[in-house]
Structure 1
Amino acid sequence: MVTITYRNADINLDEQVYDPAEDSYLLADVAIDSAKPGMKVLEVGAGTGFVSAVLQSNVDVDLIATEISPLAASCARSNNVEVIRADMFSCFRAGTTFDLILFNPPYLPTAEDEKVPGWLNYAFDGGPDGRDAVNCFIDEVPEYLNAYGMVLILISSLTGIDQVKERMEDHGFKVETCGSDRDCFFEELVVLKGILQP
């Protein structure tokens, strides 16, 4: 296991779990800027726990995460992130709500012959247009947000930023772009902030 340090957080990495990259750093930075002390926060698909661990090291929030991969969930726990092994919101009862929900989805457009074996595929495979997990998240997330609750979603230009914004707006969100990274070789990464309008 390798340990990296970022913004006051020491993060353990596991070679069987997707390593934090530009997208993870961007979402962590925006989360720190957006979160307020005391917020009830959920990270969906925590992976190594990088984003949650960095956020917890910089803002006093009440945080829990979900993660489908048992390998990633174990890694996140080693980074002091409270993790429930579940697919997105499947572990929560009706009426469970949060102030802030973070999601760095699998967003790469992926054909059948591009899938990778094992749990690692969950970190990459966004379906044919890259929006399978994104669309599912947007459809379900309003039920788990308080009034004026906020979502932060990491999206790639490969996924179709305008299409994601439009779907969020159709589900009652006021949407803005609050972070971007254009230094990636073949894509632009953005964080979309959505505020749920009651």
Structure 2
Amino acid sequence: MLLLRPPGVYAPQDDTWLLRQALRDAALARGARVLDLCTGTGVLAMAALQLGADEAVALDASPRAVLAARCNAWLHRLPLTVRRGDLADAVAEARGGRGFDVVLANPPYVPSPERELPRRGAAMCWDGGPDGRAVLDRLCACAPELLAPGGTLLMVHSELCGTRATLELLRAEGLKSSVVARTTIPFGPVLHSRAAWLEERGLITPGQRTEELVVIRADRP
């Protein structure tokens, strides 16, 4: 799929494609209402429309990402609604309607030496705080508000920020959750640059230069 991607917008890569495959495997019901959080180029929201979703809303905090997603939807002639916003805006969007049948999320999850999340620049796409969970924990907590009854959350992140923690938080919110896809990949440039710090924190073993990506599915009864 041809995609326009201005500088500073997250380039679709292994985590994107793993989540897209999980969406295909989930057998999206035709007519579903879909929310794509941290949409970037909009590729996952567009995939949902191509798979039969009736409505897809794409949110991103980056103005450049919003522009990219709108341009890509226009390029592919898909009726994608793109808005600038964060998790709080997503909750407000769900409360204003009936909730979403499917929520897709590829949030920032890379552990970062900086305690504060970046508010601009490319690092917004990946920095998730010292344990990588600054956004993940908030997403787990509000997942039931985002989902319509019977709705499904599909979220991708790295094992480095704690797969079990995500599963336990989602289950504590009353959602049935499990890992539905995995893949192991070499470190990219960001993790390579932080390898020594990750080793010091005990987040990776000495010499480790691969990570496992997981897609977690959570269903609201």
| TM-score, length of structure 1 as denominator length | 0.87
Question: Which structure shows the bigger proportion of residues in strand conformation?
Answer: 1
Is 1:158 the counterpart of 2:151? The answer is no
Match of 1:20 among 9, 12, 18: 12
Alpha-carbon shift at residue 32 of structure 1 (Å): 2.1
1:187 match: secondary structure? strand
Amino acid at match of 1:85: R
2:185 match: secondary structure? coil
- Give the structure 1 partner of residue 138 of structure 2: 136
* Superposed CA RMSD: 2.0
2:104 match: secondary structure? strand
CA displacement 1:173-196 (0-9 Å, x = unmatched): 111111111234421011000001
Aligned residues: 189
What is the identity percentage for the equivalent residue pairs of Structure 1 and Structure 2? 31
Q: Which has the larger radius of gyration?
A: 2
Gaps of 5+ in 1: none
2:111 match: secondary structure? coil
What does 1:10-159 correspond to in 2, within 5 Å? Answer: 10-34=2-26, 35-80=28-73, 81-90=80-89, 91-92=92-93, 94-96=95-97, 97-112=99-114, 118-159=120-161
Query: 1:169/1:126 Cα in 2 relative to 1: closer, same or farther (>3 Å)?
Result: same
Query: 1:114/1:171 Cα in 2 relative to 1: closer, same or farther (>3 Å)?
Result: closer
1:188 match: secondary structure? strand
Alpha-carbon shift at residue 156 of structure 1 (Å): 0.6
- Give the structure 2 partner of residue 175 of structure 1: 177
1:106 match: secondary structure? coil
Query: 1:116/1:99 Cα in 2 relative to 1: closer, same or farther (>3 Å)?
Result: closer
Alpha-carbon shift at residue 108 of structure 1 (Å): 0.3
Q: 1:32 touches 1:59 (CA, 8 Å); kept in 2? A: no
Gaps of 5+ in 2: 74-79, 188-209
| TM-score, length of structure 2 as denominator length | 0.79
Question: Which structure shows the bigger proportion of residues in helix conformation?
Answer: 2
